[in-house]
Amino acid sequence: MPRSYVKEARKRVGPKRERIRPIIERLAAEHADAQIALRFRSPLELLVSVMLSAQTTDVNVNRVTTALFEKYRKPEDYLAVPQEELERDIFATGFYRQKAKSLRGTMRMLIEDFDGQVPQTLPELVRLPGVARKTANVVSAELGHPEGIVVDTHVRRLSQRLGLTKQEDPVKIERDLVKLVPRADWARFPHLLIWHGRRVCDARKPRCDDCVIADLCPSSRV
């Protein structure tokens, strides 16, 4: 897209700081059911689900964890079986060897350093084996203590299309977003973009005619 067109489009929709609140409000009204797709009943199940979701779909994770969470109920359960058995139980999520290793390392640290409980702060969560910033952000947000904004492929694509960031690196995108998005919305903002990305703002063929924020988007084709 020509740079001149992009510049004109951004001028047409206005500054991003003025657009961010109406973007959030409209998306919240349009996607009132937007929430995490992973199914869990406890902080431990949330942590395991998010760790297993790397490089696979939430639907696939939920299919695996239906049986997994009946067998493994506490951190000790993940260490009570041979790693090969855990690998078989999570095989369908892909990268099962590394995931099993990370899960067992995490469970060991939970027992030794956190009295068997899932920590809620970002610095503590990223200490856990296999838990990078994105996973830690998801867990802390779902536990009611968001310390950042989750950036997945949908959040990355829509943030760029909306002119909220020019960055490509997820860490730098998050840095831009936390400066714009009110802290009270840090937890729900990614869900709103994710659901809007799945339902309307498709990667290949965005349905701008059906978009409630088309007039706020410099990439709109309307």
Give 58-82 as a 3 state SS string.
HHHHHHHHHHHHHHCCCHHHHHCCC
Catalytic (active site) residue 152: yes
Q: Could you count the other beta carbons within 10 Å of the beta carbon of residue 67?
A: 10
The catalytic position among 16, 99, 134, 185 is 134
Q: How far apart are CA 165 and CA 174, in angstroms?
A: 9
CA distances in angstroms from 32 to 35, 189, 196, 198, 212, listed in the order given = 9, 12, 11, 14, 13
Cβ atoms of 180 and 164 within 8 Å: the answer is yes
Catalytic (active site) residue 169: no
The catalytic position among 58, 152, 176, 215 is 152
Cβ atoms of 54 and 60 within 8 Å: the answer is no
Active site residues: 134, 152
